[in-house]
Amino acid sequence: MANYSLFTLFLFLISFISTAWTTSKHELNDDPLIRQVVSSVGVNDDMSLSKFEHQFSEFKKTYNKVYDTEEENEYRFGVFMSNLLRAQRHQKLDPSAKHGITKFSDLTPTEFHDQFLMSEKLQRPNLPNTILNAPILSTNDLAIQIDWRNRGAVTRVKNQGSCKASWAFSVAGMLEAVHYQSSYQLVDLSAQQILDCDSTCFPPNTNCDAGCDGGYTYNALNYLSTAGGIMAEFDYPFTGTSSNVCQFNKDKVVSSISKIFYISNNEDQIAAYVAKRNPVIVFVNSQYLQSYKGGVYCPSQCVQSGPLGALVVGYDADRNWTLKNSWGTNWGESGFFRLCKGALTCTDQVDPVALTVAAD
């Protein structure tokens, strides 16, 4: 373990606590609970420098982190310390979840947002007329709980790396489940096809899908409907980058779409579709997900904090949602996370909150 200069660490710690405080000031205007928590957070006695150093050393071993220079190592140590303090705040604000050290703990909030989340500036447009309002389903006879993983309809968790591909993976994940229901074959479908081949814009020249820079799930579904379907991941594997060269082969299509439906901004209807039809695509509030380790995530505010595309694969008896992410199995609950009842519709201003399809 490197011997860190106490003076350097002091400067880093003051700098990053100040950054965290500046970030929090935007929150302070809106929520008195955040004011109360932030004002009480500091470097506690048990969070001594030696403990920070030990935790940082274990973090690097666990996640195979290697930095090119000693200066970068010290910089990341400062970021790491700041994120532990942020995780403390998140734990107090989100007590039903567990927050702490994750593989993202050496990233600043800005770096995390830029590498893994969609832009909060994306605005929900009027939907194209190819997307239909989903029929209203009865909610009187819903299963108390459901988990499509137990039904064999959910493929392994993928890892998008620093490619902002959650929108593409959630689309592929839903189509995997729909294909399974019709064929009883669970096939990993190609998110890479969507990243490389889909440049759909709606309205024209705005809200365009842009590969690893992000995109819209309804645009992706429209593209797949027009193109004729989606290939298997085996035939069009994920590369971690997006290319201008589309390698789509219609002869190798595994699943195709006949209709696309927008489910109303109503959690009872979303539950009905998850229970009676298949997993559905959503965008969720990412407010505390950088430090999320498990439990039921329940953001304290419905804010635009960089939406995340995910797949709802079930709910429990308390109507907490289970979602599949694409950050690898070494994040959250083996790559999944749970979201509290009422929080699923927090990003309606960014994207249709839930989408489903009918397959050919």
Kind plus residue range of the DSSP H or E element containing 321: strand 321-324
**Other C-beta atoms lying within 10 Å of the C-beta of residue 169:** 27
Do 289 and 90 contact (CB within 8 A), yes or no? no
* Position 9 confidence tier, pLDDT thresholds 50, 70, 90: low
What's the average model confidence in pLDDT over 55-68? 97
CATH code at 131-359: 3.90.70.10
Say what percent of the chain tops pLDDT 70: 80
- Per-residue model confidence (pLDDT) at position 12: 52
pLDDT of residue 58: 97
Identify the band that residue 24 occupies on the pLDDT scale cut at 50, 70 and 90: very low
What tokens appear for 242 in the block?
Answer: 């997006």
Residue 166, both tokens: 């959650």
- Cβ density class 128-157: b for 16+ within 10 Å, e for less: eeebeebeebeeeebeeebbbeeeebbbeb
What's the pLDDT tens digit per position in 276-310? 999 999 888 888 999 999 999 998 777 666 778 89
CB 310 within 8 A of CB 323: yes
Q: Where are the beta strands (DSSP E) in 108-239?
A: 131-133, 146-147, 230-231
pTM (two decimals): 0.86
Are the C-beta atoms of 155 and 188 separated by less than 8 Å?
Answer: yes
Give me the half-sphere count of Cα atoms (radius 13 Å) on the Cβ side of residue 25: 5
Domain boundaries, the chain: 6-93, 131-359
pLDDT digits (tens, 9 = 90+) for 66-108: 999 999 999 999 999 999 999 999 999 999 999 999 999 999 9
Q: For residue 347, what pLDDT is reported?
A: 56
Residue 303, pLDDT score = 63
CA 30 to chain centroid: 24
Give the pLDDT confidence score for residue 201 in this predicted structure. Answer: 85
Cis peptide bond upstream of 32, omega within 30: no
